[in-house]
Structure formats: C-alpha cells, structure tokens
A and B are shown apart, each in its own frame.
Chain A
Amino acid sequence: MATQHIKDAKREENIIKSRIVMTFFGILILVLVLFFRLYYLQVTGHTHYETLSNNNRIDLTPVAPVRGMIFDRNGKILAQNTPVYTLDITPDQIKNMEQTLDHVSQLVSISDYELKRFKRSLKQRPGFEARTLITNLEHAEAARFAVNQHRFKGVKLTAELQRVYPYAELTAHVLGYVGRIGPKDLKKIDKTAYKGTSHIGKLGIEAFYENDLLGTVGIAQAETNAHGRVVRKLHRTPATAGENLHLNLDIELQALAHHILDGRKGSIVAIEPATGGILAFASTPSFDPNLFVNGIDTKNFKRLNSSDDRPLLNRALHGRYAPGSTIKPFVGLAGLEQGIDDKQQIDCYGVFKLPNSRHRYRDWKKEGHGRVDMRSSIAQSCDVYFYRLASRIGIQKLHDTLIKFGLGRKTGVDLGREPTGLVPSPDWKKRVKNLSWYPGETVIAGIGQGFMLATPLQLAVATTVLANRGLYIEPLFLHSKEDPQTRILEPVDESDAFMVEMNDPDFYERVIKGMEEVVHGDRGTARKLGRKSSYRFAGKTGTAQVVGIAQDAEYDEENLEERFRDHALFIAFAPLEKPRIAIAVIVENGGSGSGTAAPIAKQMLDYYLIERLRRVSADKRVNDFG
C-alpha cells in the first residue's frame, strides 16, 4: 500500500462504514416490504386464497340420477335404462382436435352424423365441459379403446344408462321419448337440476312427467392433482333416482290395437269408464322412439317426416276428424233436453229440405228408412231424422249440450298440448271467419259433418260419459307413482269428475237403448257384430266424408282414390250394464264405419272382456296350484 494512502485510511473507513449502515437500513426496509406482502397474503387475504386452493384441488362431479322407469297397468316395463358405452371428449384437454379425432377413428368407427353433431357441439358449450362423440359403442370397440385409453388425454370412455323403449312403435305416441338436452331446453330448465344429466323428456309422458322421472342430482367430491387425476375421493351425496310411473295403459291391448290397425292410418282410444284410466291409445303408423334418444340421423328423420302417412303425427291426440254419425247419440240427448219426444215418429224418404230452400239433404240410404223414432234413428243411423232434429234444436243449444261431453274443448289428459277440436257456433263463425251462420250448417251439424271436428281421444271421453250415464271423468294415463327406494306406490289424485246433468236421468238410457240396437237390433248398422257377441254392448257407427259430394252425384267407393275415401268411425262401450271399457275407433279412408271400424272395436272389446279375463284366471289357477 502506498504511504500517501495511509493518512486517508480513517476517512476511507468512515465513508465505507456509513455506507454499510445505509445498506443495512435499505435491507431492513425491503424485508419489511416482504413482511407486509406476506402478511397481506397469509392473514388479510387468507380466506380468499384458501378458497382458491380448495377450488384447485376439489373437483365436484355431478352424479346423474337414474331416470324413473315406466310400467303398464300390469307391471310390464315400457321404458327402462340400460347401460351403454359412450365416448366423451373434453375439448380443453385436447391439443390437436383433428389429430385426436383421426386417432380415435382408427380404433372405433365414427359415423359422419356423430362427427357432425360433435363438431356442432364444440361451439355450443364451454370447452371444459365434456361432450359425447360416440354413443352406443360396440362392446368390442369399447374394449379396444379402453386398452388404448392412456394415449388419449381428454377422451373418456364412460358407461352410461340409456333410455330404452322395449315396445318401440307401440308406445311412441304415449310415452314420447327423451332426447339430448338442446339449446331450447337449456332456456327453460333449472340447469343445476340437470348437472350430469344429458337427456330430457321431449314428448309424451316423458315430457309431461319430466319432473317426477328426473330425480335429484348427487355430487361426488374428489381431490385431484394439478393434472386432473383423482387422488382420493372425499365426500359423496348420492343421487336420488326419479320416481317410477305406473300407467293405466294395458300394453297387450295396445299391442292388439296396433296389430289390427297395421298397415292403415288410424287410431284407437280405450278408456276404463269407472276411473278415466286410458287402457289403449294407438295411432298408426307409428315410429321407433329409440331412434330419437341420441338424436335421430337425417336419413331416418327425413323418411319419417316426409312420409305421406305421417307416422310422427299422434292421431289419437292431435288427429281432428269430422265425427260423422257417431255424434248422433249426443244430438239425441240435446233434443231430449229441448223437450223433444223421442217416441214421436217421422217418415224418412231419404231426403230432407229446409222450408223455403230447394237444397236437398240426402240420407246415406237413398230410399230412406221409413217410419223412425229417435231410438231407431240411432240404430239405423237415419240422417233425415237428425237433420230435422238439429234444425229444431238450433245450433246454439246443440253447441251448448255437445261441449258438456268434452267435445270442442281440451280433455285435460296428462300428455301435454292437445287441440280443442271444434263444436261450431254462430259466435265462433263470426269470430273466426267473420261470416254469419246459415241454417243449412245447423242441418249437417246434426250428423257430425260441416265444421265439427273431434279427436279420437275426445270421442272416447264423450263415449265414457255415456257409459257412465252422465258422469264425466277426465282421461288419465298415470295410475300411480312409485318411490324407487321404498317401492311404495303413491296413487295419483283421482281424476276430476262431475255429472253432466240432464233434465231427466233416464234420457241417457233412451239414447243408450238406441246404441244397443245399433249392435243388437234387427236393423242396426252393426248388427253383424251383435249376432255373435256373448255380451251385450252399445255402439254407434260413423262415416265421415273426406270430400264433399256434389248435389246429385253418387258416392262410388270403388272408383275413388284411397285418400279421398271416407273415414270409418265407431264408438262403443261394453258391457251394457256396468261398462268396463269405452272405445273410439277411427280408420282414415277406411270406407264405412260399420264395415271397417266396428269390427275392429269388437275385436278390442272381445279381447279385453273375454280373452284377457280368461287368461288372467288361467294364470291365477296355475299360480294357486303352484
């Protein structure tokens, strides 16, 4: 060290020492900064960060409830859930979607439809939510993928329960079907209730009783690490299965209805008069609801939707037909209410004319029925009698009576949207068509033609009122709900019921007498059926025009194109006393009610009243023996 530096050593030392002290204080200040930051994170913000860390590690997986099953009145399964394999993809976990899809397709087959549906779903929901690529994998395919699962992060093979309708076409128009929850559904449902659930009732019983069938979602808590792998399971709130539904429907009777109507367009509705329970509710042609569960492919949908036979149309509920002569017993009742003597006879020459009018209203029987009263007019379906009766009653009074039987208004059936049908009145015509009512329109209303429209269900309900001698009872599919755990049946509230009061309760018997003669009388329009019947019953045939026939033209069935042929109708209840079944049959373009619809109804009645009973008692004998 140079000597001239020595005398500065003290000064140098002082400079450095003061700077060291400064450095120390600087460090102290910075340590305080760290301390305050730590205090802020660990004390002030602790709750917040603890929540964040729990959100990190705790994974809440919704546990979808098992949808309630649906049974018929005898415990036959109509809708159940069977396990199927699906392949789900969580887009956020996929680096290269195209490549992943390509690799997956080398293991399992993906249809174009599934691929398109998946790609569409990519835009619809947030990327962290899994969506289905393939539903219903073959077992071999599922196994092949399971072996390679480790290669596919974000692609998951899951076994899920799928709705299956074992009776397919037979129940399509009753149960409807479930389908994947779509954008429209998302707008109206409570999203938390559907966490983990992919399907929702779209139509029919499935939609109407959605809330009962759905069940309650459960939650599984799991601890997962940063890579999303479950480390341990924490807590589980199990899902509660949806309620099982037991319907009044008799699937065997339903099957028979479909069998008889096979190849035709038509509908059969059968009701148990005492309860309003719907025994059969057939509409043909039908479709396989299983096709809709995972979204129907375009080809099948086109086939169903563009068919002239319109299999997707629920004829029993939505089909609106002119009731034709099946309206006559009700017109008769309206006449009795107006004080008209049913015993009073008129002469029928096959033609009716209004005073001051040259228009001739023709009877279906050209030569006329001769002397007829109300009972024989019902039995022989004399048009002239009812032309005359209707114009004597007047349209307003006729309307007021008919709607009491459920015609022209909703039946309140537990199946969702239904049409009102139509019982015309001058008010209605003014309101809808802005035209005044013509007396001639009253005349044809007397035989169920003109504006009047009724659904098969409405006709069956009206028939039920006759069977019950005035007791109106709301039609109902549901018999009881069942708690799937306790297996306790909870019967539904009884159907709304009220009396359709007549001035004299005997009016019903007088009309029913006519309906009895339709079948059992010598000149009844359906007398062929009565001859071979081992029980007595009441019915009424109907033939509804599809096209108007010109004044003097002949109706020639043979030369008419099928789709212009008349609709065949028949309403009936049996047995005559203490009826157990009321029925309405409509066969589109079936020709005459007596020729086509009546024999069909008879088959149904025979089956329900005789064959079925015989078999049940046989079963009982076997069971008792065993």
Chain B
Amino acid sequence: MILASRNHLDGPLLIALLMLSGLSLIVLYSAGGGNGDLIWRQFIRLSVAILVMVAIAYTRIDSIQRWSPHVFSAGLLLLGLVLLVGIVGKGAQRWLDLGFFRFQPAEIMKLGVPMMTAWVLARRPLPASNWTIVLSLVVVCLPTGLVVLQPDLGTAILIAMSGLVVIFVAGLKWRYIIATSGLLFAAAPLMWFNLHAYQQRRILTLFDPYSDPLGAGYHTIQSTIAVGAGGFYGKGWIHGTQSQLEFIPERSTDFVFAVFAEEFGLLGSMLLLLIYLFIIGRCLIIAFNARDTYARLLCASLAWTFFVYVFVNIGMVTGILPVVGVPLPLISYGGTSMVTLMAGFGIVMSVHTHKRLMT
C-alpha cells in the first residue's frame, strides 16, 4: 500500500502548512507572555499532527473511502457517549476522558461527516436522487444535532458546513438551495428560542457590544480595539499592549488573531489571509483534479471547512460575527482540532498522490 520510493506529500501544501505552524509558535510566544512551556506543548502537538497527516497521506484514498461508514459510526457512538458520561467544562459537555488523555469526539465528526456524506453521494450517479439527498441530510443533521446538545455551537456549525458543502458540490439543484434558505430564514425565530442564554447574549451583543461592555460584549470590544490599534504595520512582536497587558481574553486560543493583528497590523493579517487562501486554493485544485467523485467531494469539503474556520474566527475577532468557539486553524493553541485539521490535509494529500492511479 505504501510505496517507499514515492513521495506522497504535496510540496506546496506542506510548505504553506509549515509556515502557518511557524507563525503559530511566534504568535503564541507573544500571547503566552513568553511562556516556554506553552510553546513546547504546541510544538509537540504540531509534530504529532504532522505525523498523523503524513500517515494519512500515505494511505490509499479508496481505503479511506471504505472506512468512511466505520469512522462515522464510531464518531456517532462516541458523541452519544459524551452526552451520557462526558466531562463538563465551561458550561458545556464536550470531553471524553479515556484515562490517559481527554478528547472531543465532535472532532472526529469534522472528518466523519464529510467522509460519510461523500460516501453516500458517490454511491449513486449524480445528480443525486431525492432519496440520496435526504439520506445525506440525515448524515449531516444527526451528529450536528448531538453536538448542539452538548452544546458546542462553533463545532456544530463546522460539522454542518462540512457536510452541507458536500451536498452542494455534488450538484444540489438551485431551487432546493433557495427553498431551504427561505425555510431557514422563516425558522430563525424558532431556533433563537432554543439557544442557550449565553449564546443568545453573544448574538445580541454582536449588534451592540457596548450594551454589556464588561460581560458578553467584553471579548468583542477588546479584540476589535486590539485589531484596530494594530494599524497598518502593527505594534511589533511582543509589543501589543492589548495582548501583553491581558486586555484580550483567551488570547492564545480563540482570540489569538487579535494578538496577531495588533502586533503585525494589516500587513501581517494580509500575509496570513494569503497563506490561508493559498492552502484553500491548493486543496480546491487538488479536488478539481481528483480521480473520482468521492475524492472530489471530500477534498472540496475539507477545503471549505478549513475556510469556515478562518472566516468564523476572524469574523468574530473583528466583531462581524457572534462569538462562537471556533479556533483560528493551526494558529490557536489547542490539541484535538489541530490533529483533525492535519488529518484532513493528510486526506487531501492522499487524494493528490493517488489521482493518476486509475487513469
């Protein structure tokens, strides 16, 4: 299965990912106030994640396709389990303690849902029949619902997005898309009342963060101040006052972009956006040139999901989206999401390296 003589890694993608990892360590050094321990742990995680990526890149894409139902089922099982025996943290039940380490089963679903949706849709010719579309919607909605119950709105959005985009790329008819959008718009008030009070507050304060400057609005106010104060050139590495004086909350995790934008300015932010855009573009090109429907669907979904990370995170830090727990991919400090992301890129690389085998 693994051809030792061949390199299965995609050079441009790998370089871009390593650049991001390097930026992550630089920003985290500043955000963590020079905490060497924090950098070291992030370095270890990056290394583990890259190893996972390499391992998956060397795995044949048809094997991955075959495993899709198993990964999805296992993920679903664990999600059910987490609701029963999960560990509560920050008002939500997300973690599963396996004795030696704790992880979030929802992370598996970030891969499991697009894999399974692609698997369902690739089994039949496209455009998909109504029955297939309903089935794939079930595949998307079931795990999303379970994650919403935890509740973890950020991850739920990512999971839903990763599955829905597969259905979209598979050629879902525009009239369905328009009809569903209309329906969602109508159902919005209903969804509103099912949100947790803290989630409602976050959405409300998005429109007017200063209505609660010390409570729900505090995060947004301080992070937009940091971003704005950075200006064009930025205040310079470890010279951001908003971050160094601890005005930005959660500055090494979800709000790390505020630190980055304050210290490196619009110039640095542009560079970061370009690296992200390059990675996404590269993934989409690989999807474009993939060997079959499953690979194309999965690869496009991974690229899109990666972008949703970036958009939602920067959107919330700059105050145009509500505060939901979505990290800045590969920059934010944190374990599981990084491994999942890198595993995703492993799949993309696998798609890339195995594209010519059939033709």
User: In the complex the two chains form, is B281's CB within 8 Å of A24's CB?
Assistant: yes
Against A, the Cβ 8 Å flags (1 = close, 0 = not) of B305-322 are: 001001100110010100
For window 47-72 of A, CB contacts with B under 8 Å fall at 48-50, 52-54, 56-57
- Complex-state Cα separation, A57 to B239, whole angstroms: 13
Q: Assess whether A432 is interfacial by the CB under 8 Å rule.
A: no
Q: Assess whether A231 is interfacial by the CB under 8 Å rule.
A: yes
Q: Assess whether B284 is interfacial by the CB under 8 Å rule.
A: yes
User: In the complex the two chains form, is B225's CB within 8 Å of A20's CB?
Assistant: no
Against A, the Cβ 8 Å flags (1 = close, 0 = not) of B200-237 are: 00000000000000000000001011111111100000
- Complex-state Cα separation, A28 to B224, whole angstroms: 23
User: In the complex the two chains form, is A48's CB within 8 Å of B247's CB?
Assistant: no
Q: Assess whether A227 is interfacial by the CB under 8 Å rule.
A: yes
User: In the complex the two chains form, is B318's CB within 8 Å of A37's CB?
Assistant: yes
Chain A residue numbers with a CB within 8 Å of B125 are 4-5, 8, 12
User: In the complex the two chains form, is B266's CB within 8 Å of A43's CB?
Assistant: yes
- Complex-state Cα separation, A40 to B287, whole angstroms: 34
Against A, the Cβ 8 Å flags (1 = close, 0 = not) of B238-251 are: 00011001110000
Give the residue of B229, B231, B311 whose beta carbon is less than 8 angstroms from that of A30: B311
- Complex-state Cα separation, A224 to B241, whole angstroms: 10
A91, chain B: closest CB distance, angstroms: 14
Chain A residue numbers with a CB within 8 Å of B81 are none
Q: Assess whether A23 is interfacial by the CB under 8 Å rule.
A: yes
User: In the complex the two chains form, is B227's CB within 8 Å of A42's CB?
Assistant: yes
Q: Assess whether A550 is interfacial by the CB under 8 Å rule.
A: no
User: In the complex the two chains form, is B231's CB within 8 Å of A52's CB?
Assistant: no
User: In the complex the two chains form, is A19's CB within 8 Å of B171's CB?
Assistant: yes
Q: Assess whether A27 is interfacial by the CB under 8 Å rule.
A: yes
For window 271-297 of B, CB contacts with A under 8 Å fall at 273, 276-277, 280-281, 284, 287-288, 293, 296-297
Against B, the Cβ 8 Å flags (1 = close, 0 = not) of A140-180 are: 00000000000000000000000000000000000000000
User: In the complex the two chains form, is A23's CB within 8 Å of B246's CB?
Assistant: no
Chain A residue numbers with a CB within 8 Å of B165 are 23
- Complex-state Cα separation, A37 to B311, whole angstroms: 12
User: In the complex the two chains form, is A226's CB within 8 Å of B247's CB?
Assistant: yes
User: In the complex the two chains form, is B126's CB within 8 Å of A31's CB?
Assistant: no
User: In the complex the two chains form, is B265's CB within 8 Å of A16's CB?
Assistant: no
User: In the complex the two chains form, is B126's CB within 8 Å of A8's CB?
Assistant: yes
Chain A residue numbers with a CB within 8 Å of B277 are 27-28, 31
- Complex-state Cα separation, A388 to B246, whole angstroms: 92
Chain B residue numbers with a CB within 8 Å of A30 are 307, 311
For window 178-193 of A, CB contacts with B under 8 Å fall at none
Chain A residue numbers with a CB within 8 Å of B265 are 42
User: In the complex the two chains form, is B266's CB within 8 Å of A23's CB?
Assistant: no
Give the residue of B126, B228, B245 whose beta carbon is less than 8 angstroms from that of A225: B245
Closest to B306 in A: A27
- Complex-state Cα separation, A17 to B296, whole angstroms: 8
Give the residue of B126, B273, B297, B303 whose beta carbon is less than 8 angstroms from that of A34: B273
Give the residue of A4, A16, A49, A224 whose beta carbon is less than 8 angstroms from that of B245: A224
With A46-B232, A53-B225 known as contacts, the answer to whether A15 contacts B171 (CB < 8 A) is yes
Q: Assess whether B168 is interfacial by the CB under 8 Å rule.
A: yes
Q: Assess whether B92 is interfacial by the CB under 8 Å rule.
A: no
Give the residue of A12, A23, A49 whose beta carbon is less than 8 angstroms from that of B227: A49
Q: Assess whether A223 is interfacial by the CB under 8 Å rule.
A: yes
Range, interface on chain B: 35 or more
Against B, the Cβ 8 Å flags (1 = close, 0 = not) of A208-234 are: 000000000000000111110001000
Q: Assess whether B27 is interfacial by the CB under 8 Å rule.
A: no
Chain B residue numbers with a CB within 8 Å of A8 are 125-126
Q: Assess whether A618 is interfacial by the CB under 8 Å rule.
A: no
Chain A residue numbers with a CB within 8 Å of B300 are 16, 19-20, 23
- Complex-state Cα separation, A371 to B259, whole angstroms: 107
User: In the complex the two chains form, is A23's CB within 8 Å of B284's CB?
Assistant: yes
Give the residue of A15, A28, A50 whose beta carbon is less than 8 angstroms from that of B170: A15
With A46-B229, A52-B225, A57-B245 known as contacts, the answer to whether A16 contacts B273 (CB < 8 A) is no
Chain A residue numbers with a CB within 8 Å of B225 are 49, 52-53, 56
User: In the complex the two chains form, is A27's CB within 8 Å of B170's CB?
Assistant: no
- Complex-state Cα separation, A46 to B241, whole angstroms: 15
Q: Assess whether B104 is interfacial by the CB under 8 Å rule.
A: no
User: In the complex the two chains form, is B169's CB within 8 Å of A20's CB?
Assistant: yes
User: In the complex the two chains form, is B318's CB within 8 Å of A41's CB?
Assistant: yes
- Complex-state Cα separation, A27 to B165, whole angstroms: 12
Chain A residue numbers with a CB within 8 Å of B287 are 20
- Complex-state Cα separation, A223 to B315, whole angstroms: 30
User: In the complex the two chains form, is A34's CB within 8 Å of B127's CB?
Assistant: no
- Complex-state Cα separation, A503 to B19, whole angstroms: 107
B159, chain A: closest CB distance, angstroms: 18
Against B, the Cβ 8 Å flags (1 = close, 0 = not) of A1-19 are: 0001100100111011101
A168, chain B: closest CB distance, angstroms: 48
User: In the complex the two chains form, is A52's CB within 8 Å of B273's CB?
Assistant: no
Q: Assess whether A38 is interfacial by the CB under 8 Å rule.
A: yes
Q: Assess whether B87 is interfacial by the CB under 8 Å rule.
A: no
With A34-B314, A38-B318 known as contacts, the answer to whether A52 contacts B266 (CB < 8 A) is no
Q: Assess whether B138 is interfacial by the CB under 8 Å rule.
A: no
User: In the complex the two chains form, is A27's CB within 8 Å of B304's CB?
Assistant: yes
Q: Assess whether A301 is interfacial by the CB under 8 Å rule.
A: no
Chain A residue numbers with a CB within 8 Å of B261 are 38, 41-42
- Complex-state Cα separation, A57 to B297, whole angstroms: 49
With A41-B227, A42-B231, A46-B231 known as contacts, the answer to whether A53 contacts B241 (CB < 8 A) is yes
Chain B residue numbers with a CB within 8 Å of A57 are 241-242, 245, 247
Q: Assess whether A126 is interfacial by the CB under 8 Å rule.
A: no
Closest to B172 in A: A19
- Complex-state Cα separation, A460 to B198, whole angstroms: 78
Q: Assess whether B270 is interfacial by the CB under 8 Å rule.
A: yes
Give the residue of A33, A37, A42 whose beta carbon is less than 8 angstroms from that of B232: A42
User: In the complex the two chains form, is A226's CB within 8 Å of B246's CB?
Assistant: yes
A569, chain B: closest CB distance, angstroms: 68
Chain A residue numbers with a CB within 8 Å of B241 are 53-54, 56-57, 223
User: In the complex the two chains form, is A45's CB within 8 Å of B297's CB?
Assistant: no
The CB with the most chain A CB atoms within 10 A, among B168, B227, B304, is that of B227
User: In the complex the two chains form, is A34's CB within 8 Å of B284's CB?
Assistant: no
A33, chain B: closest CB distance, angstroms: 8
Give the residue of B228, B281, B304 whose beta carbon is less than 8 angstroms from that of A45: B228
Closest to A225 in B: B245
The CB with the most chain B CB atoms within 10 A, among A13, A19, A28, A224, is that of A19
- Complex-state Cα separation, A227 to B245, whole angstroms: 9
User: In the complex the two chains form, is A53's CB within 8 Å of B284's CB?
Assistant: no
Closest to A12 in B: B126
Chain B residue numbers with a CB within 8 Å of A428 are none
Q: Assess whether B136 is interfacial by the CB under 8 Å rule.
A: no
A223, chain B: closest CB distance, angstroms: 7
Q: Assess whether B68 is interfacial by the CB under 8 Å rule.
A: no
Chain B residue numbers with a CB within 8 Å of A20 are 169, 284, 287-288, 296, 300
Q: Assess whether A35 is interfacial by the CB under 8 Å rule.
A: yes
Chain A residue numbers with a CB within 8 Å of B228 are 41-42, 45-46, 48-50, 52-53
Q: Assess whether A555 is interfacial by the CB under 8 Å rule.
A: no
Chain A residue numbers with a CB within 8 Å of B276 are 31
Q: Assess whether A113 is interfacial by the CB under 8 Å rule.
A: no
Q: Assess whether A535 is interfacial by the CB under 8 Å rule.
A: no
Closest to B228 in A: A49
Q: Assess whether A39 is interfacial by the CB under 8 Å rule.
A: yes
Closest to A34 in B: B314
- Complex-state Cα separation, A13 to B296, whole angstroms: 9
User: In the complex the two chains form, is A37's CB within 8 Å of B320's CB?
Assistant: yes
A208, chain B: closest CB distance, angstroms: 45
User: In the complex the two chains form, is B229's CB within 8 Å of A53's CB?
Assistant: yes
Instruction: List 10 other contacts, CB 8 Å, given A15-B170, A20-B169, A31-B311.
Output: A12-B125, A16-B171, A27-B307, A31-B276, A39-B266, A52-B229, A53-B225, A53-B226, A225-B245, A226-B245
A-B pairs with lowest CB-CB distance, top 3? A49-B228, A53-B229, A15-B171
Q: List 12 A-B contacts (CB under 8 A).
A: A27-B304, A27-B307, A31-B273, A31-B277, A34-B314, A41-B224, A41-B228, A42-B269, A49-B228, A53-B241, A56-B222, A231-B245
